[in-house]
Structure 1
Amino acid sequence: MLKTALHRYVNNFRGFRREIWILALITFINRAGTMVLPFLSKYLKENLHFSYSQVGWIMVAFGIGSMLGSWLGGKLSDKIGFYKIMVFSLFTSGMLFFILQYITSFWGLCFGIFTIMAVSDMFRPAIYVSLGVYAKPENRVRALSLIRLSVNLGFATGPVLGGLIILGVGYQGLFWIDGSTCILAIIIFALSVKEKKKVAEISRLSELEIQTKSVFTDKTFWVFLFISFTTAMLFFQIFTTLPLYHNEKFGLSEFETGLLISINGILIFMFEMPIVSALERKKTNRVKIIFWGIVLMASSFFILLLNTWVGILVIGMLFITFGEIFAFPFSNAFAIGRAPKGQEGRYMALYAMSFSLAHIVSSKLGLEIIGHFGYTANWLLMGTLGCVALLFCVWLQRLLQAEIK
């Protein structure tokens, strides 16, 4: 029985080209090394003694830089190719992480965080576009899930190691490891994967057809982007307000917070690929899958209202994790499937920017609400926003049905 289950699990990972595995490996190395991010709000609040409002503004700089990087990465991937963007992004952001540890002023950190995110998040749309080149069409959704799995496995490893490093040598060690892993990842990529141009399918489309399908006039895609933005707002609470809540409400250490966050990555490693493969085989409607993912994510915040027992943190993490498993892989697939040939970079840039904007609003709004009204008000707001996203899912489904008629 166990052998059969293991065999089925392994089968979900078959059929990928070598380049996809290299992309997954460098993504894992990069994300495992990104240990600063889960502890950034704690570092700013407890080590540098900034106020909630100042931490919120630094997170706004984080998000604005991320938005700019996502836009540049998508636009330049269409113009000069994803390969060059990936190499530049990881190598330069690695060097910038080394410098960031020496900046301690409020305005210096706003500028430093903005710059490093503008460079590092050029990588995100570029890697999405690379999957369109290196992944077989029939494996594209699973390839997206494999990259997400690498991200989450890295996040499962990173916070635990990060918590131990903080206890051992302090926050300075995290910045050195972050920078080193970015540079290591891109060296492996450059040595292992040769640049490959996108197939020139765009030549089949006239200029008029391309303009008609511009992303800025695609109403259905903009409704989808709002859904992505809202679900990302809920997700980013894991890295902004929840670590502070763990300590202030329940007295958890950085290591204990790292263990709790690692539940997210471990569960995704175990369950996302089998769930995605099963739903793909059944050809389940992607918008419906996203809908039920948001139901679980919104429920996780309503669960946090029962705050008399520390175990509620684990239950809330389970709900938001399984919500993420349903919502995010199929959101990725919807976005890249919606893009016309020749505009993949632009579509994926806007998709990545919706996450960056969510990071700005999620962190600033969440921290301001906590500062003025407390954690309970923030959990109520996040759960309610999830309910709004559900209504937009219903609208999106109707728009898609109207396109078919």
Structure 2
Amino acid sequence: MATWWRQTGGGLPRTFWYLWTATLINRLGGFVAIYLGVYLVSVRHFDPSYAGVVIGLHGAGSALGTLLGGIIADRWGRRPAMLAGNVSAAVTAAALGLTGHPVAIAALTLSLGLFLGVARPAFTATIIDVVGDRDRLRALTLNYWAINIGFSVAATLAGVLIRADPVLLFVVNAAVLLGTAALIAVKVPESRPAPEVVGPRAPADRGGLGTVLRDRVFLTFTALTGLIWLCIEADVMLPVALQADGLPASAYGPVIAVNGLMIVVGQLFVPRLVARFDRSRTIALAAVVIGAGFALTALADTVWFYAGTVMVWTLGEMLMTPANSALTADLSPTAQRGRYQGVYSLGYAFASFAGPTVGGLVTGRFGDTALWLGLAGLALLVALGNLLAGPARTRRIAALRVPAPAPARPEPAPV
């Protein structure tokens, strides 16, 4: 075990572990995003349709925030983005718990999503900055592990807090965000590469998103990532499938718990399995496994069978996530890591909205079997897309790793 842990977590810089701790703390107290819908319907007694709109505003704010945060991280630094995002989100979360006006709730929820989004690209960019190329895969995997541990514990704690006093959801979440900001302020130095390291800015790079949005290789990768996450996010239709098979809706909890349990227990073993393989091929294989899991869901008719299908597509998710994160880092120019992380996050933001929406529309019109088979087909298309895009990504990564030419030394003045 000692040897395994050295290979999994050993040798990483101290700054990374402060970031990892900040991630864990942040996710342990991330109650608002988890229980916002329950709070609005059960505590504030708003209509479910209003709750759906408000949750959508949180996602929209997060998408906008990641773009803004990426620009801030590259132009003014990682620390300003992380500190401003977390402190502003803390103030907003506290205010959200103290208001009952529907317009104020909607505006504050949008702002909360935006401020949380501002901090995320800078956070990931800092990990990439401080961890060497060889260790990025396991570092990003460890960070993903912390996210899932925090989410799993937060989901349980949020249920306790909302029964004790719903306002505690917001107060404790705000305190945790301030604690995250304090840890970053004290222990995490600015890591944005200096201009002399990355070389002079290209004329086209004015600090905005234009360079990223013209990068077809990266945009294709982001789109394919969004589509495979759409498949995973559509799993919210599992309760409908369970009820259609005569199973209680309460069975959804134990079934979907397989996902979190597998990630928390098994994610640390993944980096050693995939590190030596081509990233694009690993992602393609993961998409095939995810597709197989959803194809099997179309056949499931018992709780154990459904749990088995979740196990299959979760295995695909575990293979995909670290490879995706490492490939994002590989494809990001040093001077633009924040912006690339911000644009990459749009793929997941799109999936968070489109997955449940498409899942609901397809299930309502054609039934859940059509949904699961459609998701399986989409996953296979994503696998094919990653295989076809692999050579272009390899060429781009090789080009980015070529060191910039040293500035020419001035000729001595003639005597």
TM-score w.r.t. the length of structure 2 is 0.82
**2:47 paired with 1:50:** yes
Provide the residue aligned with 2:413 in structure 1. Answer: none
Give structure 1 stretches of 5+ with no counterpart: none
Who is 1:264 aligned against? 259
The secondary structure found in structure 2 opposite 1:284 is coil
Counterpart in the other structure of 2:180: 185
**Distance in 1 between residues matched to 2:29 and 2:290, nearest whole Å:** 26
1:91 aligned to which of 83, 87, 90: 87
- Cα gap change, 1:98 to 1:203, in 2 (>3 Å): closer
Corresponding residue number in structure 2 for 1:146: 142
> How far has the Cα of 1:398 moved from its partner?
4.7
SS of the residue corresponding to residue 308 of structure 1 reads coil
Letter in structure 2 aligned against 1:267: M
Q: Quick one: which amino acid aligns to residue 224 of structure 2? A: I
> Quick one: distance in 2 between partners of 1:161 and 1:337?
37
2:285 aligned to which of 279, 292, 295: 292
CA-CA distance at 1:269 after TM superposition: 3.2
Residue aligning to 1:82: 78
Structure-1 separation of matches of 2:88 and 2:96: 12
Report the identity percentage: 22
Deviations along 1:137-164, whole A, 9 cap, x unmatched?
3212221112111111112222232334
Alpha-carbon contact 1:56-1:367 (below 8 Å) kept: no
Matched residue, 2:408 = none
Match of 1:13 in 2: 9
Match of 1:361 in 2: 354
For the pair 1:251 / 2:249, whether they are aligned, the reply is yes
2:320 to 304, 323, 327: 327
Within 5 Å, which residues of 2 pair with 1:363-402? 363-370=356-363, 375-400=368-393
SS at match of 2:9: coil
Report the more deviating stretch, 157-166 or 221-230: 157-166
Aligned-pair distance for 1:116? Answer: 0.8
Which residue of 1 is the match for residue 410 of structure 2? Answer: none
Instruction: Give distance in 2, aligned partners of 1:172 and 1:373.
Output: 41
Distance 1:206 1:10, change over 3 A: closer
CA 1:20/1:95 → structure 2, altered by over 3 Å: closer, same or farther? same
Q: Which moved more, 1:20-29 or 1:340-349?
A: 340-349
CA distance in 1, matches of 2:93, 2:62: 15
Could you tell me whether the CA contact under 8 Å between 1:220 and 1:399 is conserved in 2? yes
State the AA in 2 paired with 1:315. Answer: G
The superposition leaves residues 16-48 of structure 1 with CA deviations (integer Å, 9 ceiling, x where unpaired) of 111100100110111121134344445556664
Cα distance in 2 for residues equivalent to 1:381 and 1:49: 34
Find the aligned partners of 1:306 and 1:180 in 2 and give their Cα distance: 46
In the alignment, what sits opposite 1:277? 272
Q: Look up the match of 1:204.
A: 199
Structure 1 residues 111, 30: closer, same or farther in 2, change over 3 A? same
User: 1:20-59 maps to which residues of 2 (within 5 A)?
Assistant: 20-44=16-40, 48=45, 50-51=47-48, 54-59=50-55
Contact 2:280–2:386, Cα closer than 8 Å, also in 1: yes
CA distance in 2, matches of 1:363, 1:335: 25
Q: Does residue 113 of the first structure (1) align with residue 79 of the second (2)?
A: no
For 1:133-190, what per-residue CA distance to the aligned partner results, in whole angstroms no more than 9, with x for missing partners? 2223321222111211111111222223233444x42654333332222222222222
| Structure label with greater radius of gyration | 2
**Cα distance in 2 for residues equivalent to 1:205 and 1:395:** 33
**One-letter code aligned to 1:100:** L
Aligned partner of 2:310 among 290, 307, 317: 317
Which piece of structure 1 moves more, 243-252 or 322-331? 243-252
Does the 8 Å contact 2:145/2:264 carry over to 1? yes
Deviations 1:367-397 (A, max 9, x none): 4445555554544443333233223213212
Q: State how far apart, in whole Å, the 1-side matches of 2:315 and 2:196 are.
A: 37
SS at match of 1:195: coil
- For residues 100-150 of structure 1, give each alpha carbon's deviation from its aligned partner in whole angstroms, at most 9, with x where no partner exists: 234556655443322111110112111111113222332122211121111
Q: Distance in 2 between matches of 1:236 and 1:242?
A: 11
Aligned partner of 1:184: which letter? G
SS of equivalent to 2:11: coil
Give how far 1:270 is off. 2.9
**Cα pair 1:215 1:347 within 8 Å, conserved:** yes
CA contact (8 A) 1:73 1:126 kept: yes
Q: State how far apart, in whole Å, the 1-side matches of 2:100 and 2:249 are.
A: 26
Residues 1:173 and 2:172 aligned together? no
RMSD: 3.2
Label 1:55 to 1:111 Cα distance change in 2 as closer, same or farther (>3 A).
same
Report the number of matched residues.
Answer: 392
Contact 1:246 1:252 (C-alpha < 8 Å) held by counterparts: no
Q: 1:339 aligns with which of 332, 337, 340?
A: 332
Identify the structure with bigger relative contact order (alpha carbons < 8 Å, sequence gap 6+).
1
Q: Which amino acid aligns with 1:176?
A: V
State the one-letter code of the partner of 1:348.
Answer: Q
Deviation track 1:250-275 (CA, whole Å, cap 9, x = no partner) reads: 2328xx83x65554344223322322
